[in-house]
Every structure is written in C-alpha cells, then in structure tokens.
Structure 1
Amino acid sequence: MRTEYVEAVLELAAMVPAGSALAYGDVAELLGSGGPRQIGSVMSHHGSAVPWWRILKANGEAPPGHEREALTLYLAEGTALLGNHAEYLRTGEGRWRVDLVAARWAPSEPDFERIDAVAERLERELHKLSVPDDEMTV
C-alpha cells in the first residue's frame, strides 16, 4: 500500500475526536479514495500511533483481539455503546458494540476544510505517481 495513502488515512483518523467514531467506509468516503477493506488494512497494520479504536467496522464492533482495550477507551471517552458491556468487562461474556448512529463523527466546517486538504493532497500524490515523468513536463 502506498505511503501517501497510509499517511492520509492516519491523518484523518487522528482528527476524530474523543467519544466519536467512524466506520472504515466513512473514512474512505471522506478521503474520496479506497474502500472499507483498504482502510481496515491501514488501521490494522499502521494505526497504533493514532486513536485506532475510533475507526471500526460498520456494525460498530471493535477491532478483533482488541475488544477489552477498546471498550475501556470507549467508556473513558463516553462513546455511545449498545449491548451488555458491563457483563463483558466483568466476565468476558456478553456482546456490545459502538452505537455508530449516536457516535458517528459529524465534522464541522473547519474539520471538512482539513479533511478536504488531506484528500486533495492524496489525490495529487496518487496522480503524480500514476502519470509517467515524461507526461508531467509541459
């Protein structure tokens, strides 16, 4: 996966405020590039330096293998949850997930300006990589 794409995904993930979340597909749509699988792959391989728990599957489930840590972070941030998270913390049993309807991040106008800048930079970088050097000189 191209470094430019990874950097753009991580930059957008870092913008999501505490208590909010986005689905992988939301991130792809905001960037105007890739899809949920690409975003999931970036987060899985490179997301440890950003708030990875705020980017998740469309069904609101935490990243596999990180459920307990993610739940602790969601509770600390006041993220809206569905299901029996108290039972899960107590016994390891019970199902829960992020309530993406309530927790989905709604970027403000300044946020959209930052997101657009990231998306435009990504588009320029990807276009530059796809155009042969001899076609770039005019």
Structure 2
Amino acid sequence: MDEELHERIREVVRAVPRGRVSTYGDIAARAGASSPRVVGKVLSEDGHDLPWHRVLRSTGRPAEHIARRQLELLRAEGVLAEGDRVDLGEYRWRD
C-alpha cells in the first residue's frame, strides 16, 4: 500500500466524530481504498493513536477480539449497543 492511501485512511478515521461510528467499508470508500480489509490492516498496524473504536463491521458489530474494549469506549461516548451490535441507522456518521 502506498503511503498516500495509508495517510488518507488515517485522516478519514480521525474525522469520525465522537458519538458516531463508521464501517470499514465507509472508511474505504471515503479514502479511495480498494477494500475494507485495507482499512482493517491500517488500523491494526498503525491505528493506536486514532479513534479506532468508532469503526465497525458492516453489521454494526465489532471484531470479537476487541469487542469488549470497543463497546466500552463507544458507550463512554454515548453510543449504545444492543447486545454486541450498534444500530448503524442511529449512530452512523454521515456528513
């Protein structure tokens, strides 16, 4: 992946407002990435300083290995989940 795409993905993730969520696919589309998986790769390798917890799967669910922490962080921002699923209709970031 080129550095420019990497930085665009980081910029888009950084732009997701507090109290809102986005999906990997949404971020990929905004950044011009070929796949949501590219977004996941950037976040897993270089997302520690970003609001990574605001990025969910297209189902509104977090990945299993980070679900507990991610839902805690979202809850602290006022994003409530029903079980392990966030209602994208209510909380999805749209500008």
Q: Does TM, scored on the shorter chain, surpass 0.5?
A: yes
More helix by share: 1
Match of 1:20 in 2: 20
Q: Distance in 2 between matches of 1:64 and 1:45?
A: 17
Q: Distance in 1 between matches of 2:44 and 2:64?
A: 10
User: 4+ residue runs of structure 1 moved beyond 6 angstroms?
Assistant: none
Q: Which runs of 5+ in 1 are unaligned?
A: 84-95, 108-138
Q: Deviation at 1:80?
A: 3.5
Structure 1 stretch 5-14 or stretch 58-67: which is displaced more? 58-67
Q: Distance in 2 between matches of 1:33 and 1:71?
A: 26
Residue type at the aligned position of 1:58:
S
Q: TM-score with structure 1 length normalisation?
A: 0.63
Percent identity between matched residues is 38
Count of residue pairs brought into register by the alignment: 95
Higher alpha-carbon Rg:
1
| 8 Å contact kept, 2:24–2:36 | yes
RMSD over aligned Cα atoms: 1.4
Q: Which runs of 5+ in 2 are unaligned?
A: none
Given the alignment of the two structures, is residue 98 of structure 1 paired with residue 86 of structure 2, yes or no?
yes
